[in-house]
Structure 1
Amino acid sequence: MEKNNLKALFGLKVHINQYLLSIIIVGCTALLCSPLSNIQSYHIVSFILLFVVSIMATIMSVGPVLLMSTLSALVWNFMFIPPRLTFHIEKPEDILMFGMFFIIAFVNGVLTTRVRKQERLAREREERTNALFVLTKKLSDSYGIVDVISVATKEIEITFSLNPVFILVEHGGSLNSSYRLQKSDTLESNENDIAEWALNNSHCAGRYTNTFVNEANTFYPLLGTRVNTGVVVVKHNGSFSGDRKIFWDTFLTQISSALEREFLGEIAQRAWLLDESDRLFKTLFNSISHELRIPVATILGAADTLLSLPSPEKVQPELYREIFTASIRLNRLIENLLNMSRLESGRISTRLLWCDVNDLVSKIREDLNEELELFTFNVSIQEDMPLVKIDFGLIEQVLYNLIYNSCEYTPLSSKIWLSIYYDNGYLVIKIEDSGPGFPESAIENVFNKFFKVDGLKSGGLGLGLSITKGFVEAHQGTIVLENRKEGGAAFTIKIPSETPSEFPDLKT
């Protein structure tokens, strides 16, 4: 689009060629018109020469057109106006005709050239406007700092034929070289200092400027309305001037605005994350404090009673039971925190072994015996259920969490169902209860960390279901929550599992 550099390099040669061409064209036209040199036809030659000057004015610059106008008038006078082969003109009307010819040719050439210039300027303005529109649209569609830099680099290369290097500020306010996308372009230490100077002083530096004029590169600060986002470094063969300088500044302004938008977005995101982290810390701290206080207080109270009673034999079993129950609750809390830590760090690995689901159910009954005594616990296992390949410990923890939750939120003496069967390569486990179920708005969030349903009695940290989902997904399985039509909640787990079909004797 921009041809100023080309004109600066080859403009002189182009102009010389046009001057020579104008002389040749006038000479050729005069030779072609020589048959019309008789007395009656020399006026026709003037119109032919005017026509040629008008045509050439549409493709030549002002100087060659003026030369052609002058030469045309002189050639017409010398070769065609009587007396021929002399610059003397006898008739007054021919003198007037000669003067009018010269003026008309001159004015026509100048006006035609001016029209061409206006047309060229209008075309350049249109191209620049279109380039700015394309840049603005692509920047508005870009997401993230790297994407903005990629778009800006490509558009500068297309529009200005330059290879820019972007250096952006980091959180501390100093320049950060990690945003240089061109690996082959590196800056020297003194150039980094110049970039810092340009950023701090909000003024361009380097070649074709008033500061650091001996440098090979030019440093332009990216100035925003609120923050200066960095510096763009370019190496070009000529300085920007006039409309091109305004166009370049406008280009950089659009890029600076896009970068500032991303910078402020990152700042807002960091502020939001800090606020969320602080809120999460307070929530977690309060929950852990509450959950720890209850079992610790129970243990302390029971121990104090045992120490203070003169004859504690009668109440010892009950106090020991309270200590044991509180210890289990405390251990469960610690286990949940450790399991969540393992899930967050990605250190969960499954140890898949052939397991009997009856052993799994027996272990759950044993661990939750005290809780399940208060409910009707119905277990349904598929007949001829094959062995399944699972991590026994993880799936046991999954069932423990789900059934324990049902015991926590289901009315006493109500029913809890556990169904296990094998279906098309999947181990399917379904836990249902007769509790209040979940609000529809909460179903999609129940597996999130620290999530608790409003209106339900609050116990635990809100980690159980999140851990359950993590353990199921560690088996490449899925867990789905639905509300039962009859009331209550239903959790359905599907885990891909092999079946020992090649070993018919391996049946439960």
Structure 2
Amino acid sequence: MDLKTEQRKFPFSLSARINHYLLSIFIIGLTALLCTPLSNQQGYHVVSFILLFVVSILATFMAIGPVFVAATLSALVWNFFFIPPNLTFHIDKTEDILMFGMFFIIALVDGVLTTKVRRQERLAREREERTNALFQLTRELSKASGIDEVLTIALERISNHFSMGAFFILQDGNNILHSSGRLQKEKKLTPEEYQLAEWVFTHLQPAGRFTPTHSNVQYSFYPLPGTRLNAGVVAVKPGRLFTADEKAFWDTFLTQIANALEREFLGELAQKARFLVESDRLYKTLFNSISHEFRIPVATIMGASDSLMNSIHPESVKADLFNEIFTASLRLNRLIENLLNMSRLESGQLSVRLDWYDMNDLANKVAEDLKEELKAFTLKVSIPEDMPLVKVDFGLLEQSMYNLVINSTQYVPTGSEIELNIRYEDGLLMIQVKDRGPGFPDKAIKDLFNKFYRVDGNKTGGLGLGLSIVKGFVEAHKGTVSVRNRKDGGSAFTIQIPTENPNIHNLLLNQ
């Protein structure tokens, strides 16, 4: 919101008070005029009761000043126009003199007491409204999440309860002030105003308009101190000086806002600290894993290459060395692919290119790519004959299936069977990879798809990225991936992807 000058709404402004004085004079004069015929019939004492009643009525909605004027004027009017002799302030009878004095005192006391009672009612009502306002503010701030939401609530409540705009100047975490323009149009302060805001931030004392310090500027600046840190400064343009009650209400209001901002600041600092610790841990884990995982295939390639270059070997030995180089190259390529895929996921640059594909082609491609790794195992592929074409991203789904199958080869005994089952059911593409390995500890299952996670005691190596990449690629299809331990041993990974097949697609087009 814009920082704007708004005059505070007061119950009795100067123009309203002047109008009340004029209104009280007019009402007393009109009452006296209307009572003239009555005085001739009922006597002038009746007029005094009517004037007293009118003064009491005026006291219910006017301040003490107009009521005092009404009481004085009614006494003078009663004396001048109604007490014999008429049209003079002279009173002949002693009882009329006493009556006049009592009339004036009663009118004045009645007006003052009524005004005080009404003022107490107004103060009680204002206190109740302020208590409710603080309760609402505290409740909303307790539910707020983030500095932006706290500022939104604060700006709205300040506008509602104080009828003035506000501009927050918050610290950046290093005790340096920066204007908070995230939820409001940027308001640029003059250099002098900004220096004054910094002074308020440093000394934790208000300054500016209607304060003892630098009262010649257009803004009033108030600090926002919490129990552990100073959140910043709020700048406002009040219409006038606060009363004592209003100042206490304003200070309590700012305290609630400052505490909420402090809570969010500390939460952000704690989150940043956790992020730095986690980043450092992930960096060390990634560095150690990469150095270890890359060293093995690189050492294999270098050793086999050196042997081929510097020694003479029979053809069978050469074939074995070439095979070692090829296998190590595949492993190295897989590591690089996983790192690149994770980089795509983390950067948010992953795009899904959907098209119609035959799942038999996908399964055959995975089996072909894993030909070397699967030499020591049996891959059993199961796809129904009536399996329809499905609309997926071939590359992402191939990499997901590749990672699941290669994951199974790292856990199952040599010679074991690995199952790859694919089917289409109720609008879902179902892909399952099953094995008869040792399975996973129950406590590890919930973390298997986390980055860099490796099961305790796992000696198979790897960066711990393969399954997290599967999760990212499947979720890019708006699908899910899960894992469970099989009853008779082993594990089963299940991918479920909502997709359409040509039959449903054509049916929708025909409709």
TM range, smaller chain: 0.7 to 0.9
Instruction: Output the CA distance in 2 between the equivalents of 1:28 and 1:368.
Output: 112
SS in 2 for 1:491: strand
**Unpaired runs of 5+ in structure 2?**
1-6, 507-511
Q: Tell me the CA shift for residue 336 of structure 1.
A: 1.4
User: What is residue 169 of structure 1 aligned with on the other side?
Assistant: 171
Superposed CA deviations along residues 391-413 of structure 1, whole A, max 9, x for unmatched, are 55444332322112112112344
User: What is residue 436 of structure 2 aligned with on the other side?
Assistant: 434
The 1:354–1:161 alpha-carbon spacing in structure 2 relative to 1, beyond 3 Å, is closer
User: What is residue 142 of structure 2 aligned with on the other side?
Assistant: 140
The 1:218–1:258 alpha-carbon spacing in structure 2 relative to 1, beyond 3 Å, is same
User: What is residue 35 of structure 1 aligned with on the other side?
Assistant: 40
From 116, 121, 127, the equivalent of 1:125 is 127
User: What is residue 17 of structure 1 aligned with on the other side?
Assistant: 22
Letter of the structure 2 residue corresponding to residue 158 of structure 1: N
From 230, 239, 243, the equivalent of 1:228 is 230
SS in 1 for 2:432: strand
Is the counterpart of residue 402 in structure 1 residue 407 in structure 2?
no
Instruction: Output the CA distance in 1 between the equivalents of 2:9 and 2:423.
Output: 79
The 1:55–1:397 alpha-carbon spacing in structure 2 relative to 1, beyond 3 Å, is closer
Q: Tell me the CA shift for residue 162 of structure 1.
A: 0.8
Instruction: Output the CA distance in 2 between the equivalents of 1:455 and 1:221.
Output: 56
Is residue 379–residue 417 contact of structure 1 (8 Å, CA) maintained in 2?
yes
SS in 2 for 1:326: helix
From 243, 246, 250, the equivalent of 1:244 is 246
SS in 2 for 1:416: strand
From 365, 376, 379, the equivalent of 1:377 is 379
Is residue 58–residue 112 contact of structure 1 (8 Å, CA) maintained in 2?
yes
Q: Which moved more, 1:249-258 or 1:485-494?
A: 485-494
Q: Which moved more, 1:306-315 or 1:374-383?
A: 306-315
Letter of the structure 2 residue corresponding to residue 70 of structure 1: T
SS in 1 for 2:269: helix
Letter of the structure 1 residue corresponding to residue 225 of structure 2: L
Is the counterpart of residue 7 in structure 1 residue 12 in structure 2?
yes
From 325, 328, 335, the equivalent of 1:326 is 328
SS in 2 for 1:182: coil
Q: Which moved more, 1:482-491 or 1:84-93?
A: 84-93
Is residue 24–residue 58 contact of structure 2 (8 Å, CA) maintained in 1?
no
Is residue 21–residue 69 contact of structure 2 (8 Å, CA) maintained in 1?
no
The 1:347–1:247 alpha-carbon spacing in structure 2 relative to 1, beyond 3 Å, is closer
User: What is residue 282 of structure 1 aligned with on the other side?
Assistant: 284
Is residue 173–residue 265 contact of structure 2 (8 Å, CA) maintained in 1?
no
Residue pairs, 1:76-475, within 5 angstroms = 76-81=78-83, 87-89=89-91, 91-179=93-181, 181-183=183-185, 185-299=187-301, 318-349=320-351, 357-383=359-385, 385=387, 391-423=393-425, 427-457=429-459, 459-475=461-477
Q: Tell me the CA shift for residue 304 of structure 1.
A: 7.0
Letter of the structure 1 residue corresponding to residue 18 of structure 2: K
Superposed CA deviations along residues 122-169 of structure 1, whole A, max 9, x for unmatched, are 122222222222222222222211111111111111111112222222
Instruction: Output the CA distance in 1 between the equivalents of 2:303 and 2:380.
Output: 37
Q: Tell me the CA shift for residue 277 of structure 1.
A: 0.9
The 1:487–1:28 alpha-carbon spacing in structure 2 relative to 1, beyond 3 Å, is farther
SS in 2 for 1:179: coil
Q: Tell me the CA shift for residue 464 of structure 1.
A: 0.7
Is residue 167–residue 180 contact of structure 1 (8 Å, CA) maintained in 2?
no
The 1:56–1:282 alpha-carbon spacing in structure 2 relative to 1, beyond 3 Å, is same
The 1:406–1:13 alpha-carbon spacing in structure 2 relative to 1, beyond 3 Å, is same
Is residue 452–residue 458 contact of structure 1 (8 Å, CA) maintained in 2?
no
User: What is residue 485 of structure 1 aligned with on the other side?
Assistant: 487
The 1:33–1:68 alpha-carbon spacing in structure 2 relative to 1, beyond 3 Å, is farther
Superposed CA deviations along residues 216-275 of structure 1, whole A, max 9, x for unmatched, are 232223232322222222223322232222222222222222111111111111111111
Superposed CA deviations along residues 324-353 of structure 1, whole A, max 9, x for unmatched, are 433432332222112211222234445666
Letter of the structure 1 residue corresponding to residue 296 of structure 2: I
Asked which structure has the greater RCO (Cα within 8 Å, sep 6+), the reply is 2
Letter of the structure 2 residue corresponding to residue 480 of structure 1: S
Is residue 356–residue 392 contact of structure 2 (8 Å, CA) maintained in 1?
yes
User: What is residue 4 of structure 2 aligned with on the other side?
Assistant: none
Is residue 156–residue 164 contact of structure 1 (8 Å, CA) maintained in 2?
yes
The 1:78–1:367 alpha-carbon spacing in structure 2 relative to 1, beyond 3 Å, is closer
User: What is residue 506 of structure 1 aligned with on the other side?
Assistant: none
Instruction: Output the CA distance in 1 between the equivalents of 2:223 and 2:264.
Output: 17
Q: Tell me the CA shift for residue 283 of structure 1.
A: 1.9
Q: Which moved more, 1:435-444 or 1:348-357?
A: 348-357
Superposition TM-score, scaled by structure 2 size: 0.84
Is residue 427–residue 500 contact of structure 2 (8 Å, CA) maintained in 1?
yes
The 1:108–1:421 alpha-carbon spacing in structure 2 relative to 1, beyond 3 Å, is closer
Instruction: Output the CA distance in 2 between the equivalents of 1:136 and 1:169.
Output: 22
Q: Tell me the CA shift for residue 430 of structure 1.
A: 2.1
Instruction: Output the CA distance in 1 between the equivalents of 2:446 and 2:491.
Output: 14
SS in 1 for 2:398: helix
Superposition TM-score, scaled by structure 1 size: 0.85
Is residue 158–residue 166 contact of structure 2 (8 Å, CA) maintained in 1?
yes
The 1:32–1:432 alpha-carbon spacing in structure 2 relative to 1, beyond 3 Å, is farther
Q: Tell me the CA shift for residue 381 of structure 1.
A: 2.8
Q: Tell me the CA shift for residue 450 of structure 1.
A: 1.3
Instruction: Output the CA distance in 1 between the equivalents of 2:16 and 2:355.
Output: 83
Instruction: Output the CA distance in 1 between the equivalents of 2:178 and 2:217.
Output: 21
The 1:54–1:398 alpha-carbon spacing in structure 2 relative to 1, beyond 3 Å, is closer
